[in-house]
Each structure stands twice: as structure tokens, then as C-alpha cells.
Structure 1
Amino acid sequence: MSDGWHRPLRLHELARGPVSLALAPDDGERAAVAKRLGLSSLPALKAQLTVKPWLDGAEIAGRFDAIVGYVCGVTLEPFEQAVSGEIHARAVPAGSPNAPTEAGSGEMELDLEADDPPDVLSGDAIDVTEYVIEHLSLEIDPFPRKPGATFDYASDAKEESPFAVLKKLKDPKP
């Protein structure tokens, strides 16, 4: 079993143009991703990405399809569910003039309609699998419920009014 799933792509590999990638981790890599994301299993994961030059960095776009193994929060039974999503991200090398600047003080303006700022790479390579794992983690249901599972709870204790409880405290029985 490997320690994870990695597919680095060096920025200089984009000099000739866009690079298309079909990614599919093996059994050990899927198990490592499932453990990392707190899933009971990850029976399938495939991603189709295109990485193209963007300014002095790269733009990653594509989609992923997965089958995720959950444990039902109601019945505690395992079940599987299909999950898919789109990937769109940008990255620039450290020291790039296009890297987002850290605002030390003052107000920060947010434009909810604007694209996210690019990620800053620590080296000259992009681990494209990290973008797949990140976007997969955003699609995972934090409170999975098996289809058809219902939560029916009926308390056995008779509910007393707060005043009845206070009366018992005032007039204790001998």
C-alpha cells in the first residue's frame, strides 16, 4: 500500500501547451485517500483534467467521478453513493507577481463574483491529485444517511413540566 496518491506535473511541461490527464488511483492509493478523508471506503475514483499555462503558472480544469463508501449516521450500516464534481483552480509559483498578497492591516474587500485567487506553489511542480482530493472532500456528505433510513425516537420517560419538578424540590417526600 502506498503512502498516498501523487501525480506531480512540472510547470515547464506546460511550455508546449495544455496537458490532458486521465487519473485513476490503484487500490492502495484509493485506500489511502479514503483514510485521509475519513471514509469507510473509496471503491472508485477517476478524474479527467486539463492543465494549461496561465500567466506564469497553471490552470487546472476538469471533473471527477467517484463512488464513496459511507457509514449511515442513523443505522450505522455501510453504503455506497456516487459523487461527482467539477474542478477549476489556478496556481502560480512562489514569488510570482501574480501571487495574492498578504494584507497586513486594514480592511479587505471581497468580491463574491470574482474568481478565487491563485494558489501559491511551494516548488516548481503541481500535484494535480491534491486538487482532485480537495474537490472530492468538498462533495462528501458530512452527515451521510442511507437512502430510506429514518430516525424514529420516542422517549420512554414521561415528560414533566418544569413547575412539577420545582414542586418536588420544594416538597420532598419523606
Structure 2
Amino acid sequence: MRRAMTVFLAVLLLGVAAGTAPATEIAVVDTERLLTQSIPGKKGQEHLSEVQKVLQKGYNDLVALYRGRENLPEAQDIIRQGQAALEQQMAVERNAALAVLQSELAAATEAWRKKNPRIQAVVSRQLLLGADSKLDVTNAVMKEMNKRTPKFADLPTVTVNKPAPAQPAQK
């Protein structure tokens, strides 16, 4: 997405320099602020906090299952694998929540842009090296963003299976 926006800006600027592009009005938003400080952004943080609690409980249950045997190599391997699986799941959950928030941000930005037809493009401040502060419409888009109700994935479930009882050595 960042590359596409950079290419779009480069083409737009080249067209303006060559005198071939119509006058284009651009607005700028601070996407980082919108994703973290908006009501949906805060709900996303709350959701991820709940996900973290579920995953941490799963890890704690796994460790408790092997309490007293945690120094055995097979127990260490299982605990390490469990931790890696839970960390991987947290990454999946973060990406899913971010995708939901980015979708909400795109919809909020488009809703604002439709109310302001003179604006043909809205660009993330994080993609710019500089811009006049008069172009910043973050507060207006924040109002649109705060009207949105994101739907995050259900909380994950973690199941810790008890280890199979040790089998006697066969002769």
C-alpha cells in the first residue's frame, strides 16, 4: 500500500510539473493517530488485550501441567512449542485486528471525502516528508471514524491437552 501511494504521488507530481494534470486538492490524515486514538482504535486495543489474556492463560495452564517436570527435555520442548504457537497466534490476532481497523479507516476516510467533493485524494501523513498543516483533516476524519463500529474476530480458544501417560518400555 505504501508503494502504491508513493507511485500515485510521484505520477501526480510529475503531471502537475508537466502542466498536464488538473488541479488536484489533497488532504492529509495522521493514520497512526486515527488507528490508536479513535473509538474503534481503542476497541481494537481492548480486543487485543483480551486476546492476550486468553493466550496467557493457555500458556500458564500448559506450564502448570508440567510443573515439577519442567526440567525434563520433553517437557521443555512442549512448553517451548506451546509458547511459540501462542506467540504466533497473537501475531495473527494483531494482523486481523489491524486489517479490521484499516478497513474502518478507509471507509471513514471515504465517507468524509464524499462530503468534501473538492478533495480528490486523502494521503497518510506517514507517507509524506512534509505538508502544509492546513491540509490536515485528521480531526474531521476522526469524527467519521468514531461513528464506526468495528467487528473483530471472536476471542481465540486455547486447549491444553494432558500428556499421554508414560508407556512402559517394551522388550
Q: Calculate the TM-score normalised by the size of structure 1.
A: 0.26
The structure carrying a bigger strand percent of its residues is 1
Which of 1 and 2 has higher RCO (CA within 8 Å, sep 6+)? 2
Q: Calculate the TM-score normalised by the size of structure 2.
A: 0.26
The structure carrying a bigger helix percent of its residues is 2
